[in-house]
């Protein structure tokens, strides 16, 4: 969909939902309407109470993920655990350091993430990108808005509407239900659940007893706050494991042709699976193959299982390099069901063929679910409580209360919130500002 189609679709969709049930919607803010639902509350309360031990530990793991070893200290300072739980939490913290040391080339990055958790590491990355913007090493925004609209030159990370809506729905449900389950596990019952919209953004919520939550112990509040984002991280890991188990690279996708180029012989959109008798499995094999060719060379290309002869042009940026004249998305590697699984399902006839089609079609939905879920979780864990109240901001203030007085903790939280907001805004607008600074 283009921008106009997207806007019209969302206006019609949300307008129809509102008009159909307008008596039950309430206006919470400009362009923000919510619909509370009481059905399902008994399930949330019963399930949370039945598994309260699990959800308490889940909340603790969320705190440790957010603040690392510092969060582990906070958890131990607030509550005495049984021996097996102590060992489990310490083991998880040590394992995270070993794992991160292998993931990050810089041991310093692994140490920061282990000591300060995801919140501290995300803030550190924002500081590093802000430094790069100031030094003009980075000339594009490091922070972008992820939206289903595409505006040339704007700091917007475009996500197709169908993937955006499905991902947001899954993420919000998991996030809010996790808050609810951990609340109930501490005898803070859920008052209502519901949905709504803020302009063209879908919303979902589970509303615990706020008055009771405010009076709860510090560790209880932090568990509840951490549960939402930590559940999104767990969702990310599960979806990544699922996709790595089911899918494998199987081609290179493009979504348009450059005018006045020899590529006019190709379909407007397609998947390249072979080029010059070389199997193309994804981005790397595509670029590696084409770079071994030269301008004006005629090559054979297999697109959508059909072979074409194509003469390469010269790249507009560098005349010595070949150019096919195709347009691509940010993510061009085509993923499909692994051959072994596809062969197995193919033996089941029409039902198996339908399953193959369904699984192949689900990949991009799964991709955007883990991608957006991961991004939202990290942003939500930043220590911001002013202007943009995030779970990480409330957790940070609770952590500060363990170190100093409540009054001083509030001041520290306020200042850290402002600093973090400034760093985010600079990552967003800094490249545009630095263009006018002469150095």
Per residue in 317-336, pLDDT (tens digit) is 888 889 888 888 777 889 99
Whether residues 31 and 110 fall in one domain: yes
* pTM strictly above 0.75: yes
State the chain's mean pLDDT as an integer.
85
Per the model's pLDDT, the better-predicted residue between 438 and 410 turns out to be 410
Whether residues 207 and 265 fall in one domain: no
Whether residues 237 and 284 fall in one domain: no
Quick one: average pLDDT of 171-179? 90
- Give me the CATH number covering residue 290: 2.30.42.10
Give a yes or no: residue 301 inside a domain: yes
pLDDT of residue 103: 54
Pairwise CA distance, residues 357 & 351, whole Å: 10
Give a yes or no: residue 205 inside a domain: yes
Whether residues 21 and 161 fall in one domain: yes
Whether residues 203 and 287 fall in one domain: no
Give a yes or no: residue 424 inside a domain: no
Whether residues 24 and 143 fall in one domain: yes
Whether residues 389 and 290 fall in one domain: no
Whether residues 237 and 108 fall in one domain: yes
What six digits make up the tokens of 243? 């996709």
Measured in degrees and rounded to the nearest 5, phi and psi for residue 304 equal 50, 40
The rounded Cα 341 to chain-centroid distance in angstroms is 28
Give a yes or no: residue 438 inside a domain: no
pLDDT, tens only, 83-94? 555 556 665 665
Quick one: average pLDDT of 205-219? 85
Q: 402-410: long-range contacts (C-beta < 8 A, 24 or more apart)?
A: 402/74, 402/77, 402/78, 402/218
Out of 270, 293, 327, pick the residue that ends a domain: 327
Give a yes or no: residue 428 inside a domain: no
Whether residues 198 and 232 fall in one domain: yes
The rounded Cα 329 to chain-centroid distance in angstroms is 18
Out of 270, 298, 327, pick the residue that ends a domain: 327
Whether residues 236 and 268 fall in one domain: no
Give a yes or no: residue 360 inside a domain: no
pLDDT of residue 145: 85
pLDDT of residue 117: 84
Give a yes or no: residue 237 inside a domain: yes
pLDDT at 115 over 60: yes
Domain extent for 323: 256-327
Whether residues 122 and 166 fall in one domain: yes
pLDDT at 221 over 90: yes
Name the percent of the chain lying above pLDDT 90: 38
Longest dimension (CA), the chain: 74
Q: Report how many domains make up the chain.
A: 2
Q: How confident is the model at residue 202 (pLDDT cuts 50, 70, 90)?
A: confident
The per-residue b/e assignment along 57-73, b for 16 or more CB within 10 angstroms, e otherwise, is bbbbbbbbbbbbbbbbe
Beta bridge mates, 257: 326
Whether residues 183 and 147 fall in one domain: yes
Which of these, 313, 317, 267, 261, lies nearest to 290 by C-alpha position?
A: 313
pLDDT of residue 337: 93
What six digits make up the tokens of 150? 């595409």
Give a yes or no: residue 288 inside a domain: yes
> Cα dist. 40→44, 188, 213, 221 in Å?
7, 16, 21, 23
pLDDT of residue 355: 93
């Amino acid at each position: 969909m283009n921008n106009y189609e997207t806007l019209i679709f969302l206006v019609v969709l949300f307008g129809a939902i509102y008009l159909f049930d307008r008596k039950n919607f309430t206006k919470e803010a400009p362009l923000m309407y919510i619909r509370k639902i009481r059905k399902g509350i008994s399930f949330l309360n019963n399930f949370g109470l039945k598994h309260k031990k699990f959800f308490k530990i889940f909340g603790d793991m969320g705190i440790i993920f957010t603040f690392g070893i510092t969060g582990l200290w906070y958890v131990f300072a607030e509550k005495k655990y049984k021996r097996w739980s102590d060992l489990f939490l310490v083991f998880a913290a040590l394992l995270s350091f070993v794992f991160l040391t292998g993931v990050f080339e810089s041991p310093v990055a692994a140490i920061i993430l282990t000591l300060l958790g995801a919140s501290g590491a995300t803030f550190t990355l924002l500081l590093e990108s802000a430094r790069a913007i100031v030094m003009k090493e980075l000339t594009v925004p490091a922070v972008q808005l992820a939206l289903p609209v595409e505006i040339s030159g704007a700091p917007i990370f475009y996500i197709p509407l169908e993937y955006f809506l499905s991902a947001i729905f899954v993420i919000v449900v998991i996030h809010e239900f996790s808050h609810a389950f951990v609340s109930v596990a501490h005898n803070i019952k859920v008052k209502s659940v519901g949905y709504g919209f803020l302009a063209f953004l879908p919303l979902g919520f589970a509303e615990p007893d706020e008055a009771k939550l405010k009076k709860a112990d510090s560790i209880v509040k932090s568990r509840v706050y951490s549960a939402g984002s930590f559940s999104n991280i767990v969702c990310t890991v599960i979806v990544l494991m699922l996709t790595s188990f089911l899918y494998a690279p199987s081609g290179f996708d493009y979504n348009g042709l450059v005018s006045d180029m020899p590529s006019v012989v190709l379909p407007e959109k397609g998947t390249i699976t072979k080029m010059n008798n070389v199997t193309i499995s994804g981005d790397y094999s595509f670029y590696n193959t084409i770079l071994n060719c030269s301008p004006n060379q005629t090559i054979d290309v297999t697109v959508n299982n059909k072979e074409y002869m194509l003469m390469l042009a010269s790249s507009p940026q560098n005349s010595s390099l070949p150019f096919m004249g195709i347009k691509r998305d940010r993510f061009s590697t085509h993923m499909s069901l692994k051959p072994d699984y596809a062969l197995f399902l193919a033996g089941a006839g029409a039902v198996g063929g339908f399953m193959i089609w369904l699984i192949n079609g689900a990949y991009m939905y799964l991709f955007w679910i883990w991608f957006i879920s991961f991004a939202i979780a990290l942003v939500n864990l930043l220590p911001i409580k002013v202007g943009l109240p995030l779970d990480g901001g409330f957790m940070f203030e609770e952590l500060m209360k363990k170190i100093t007085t409540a009054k001083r903790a509030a001041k520290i939280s306020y200042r850290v919130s402002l600093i973090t907001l400034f760093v985010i805004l600079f990552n967003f607008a800094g490249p545009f500002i630095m263009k006018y600074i002469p150095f």
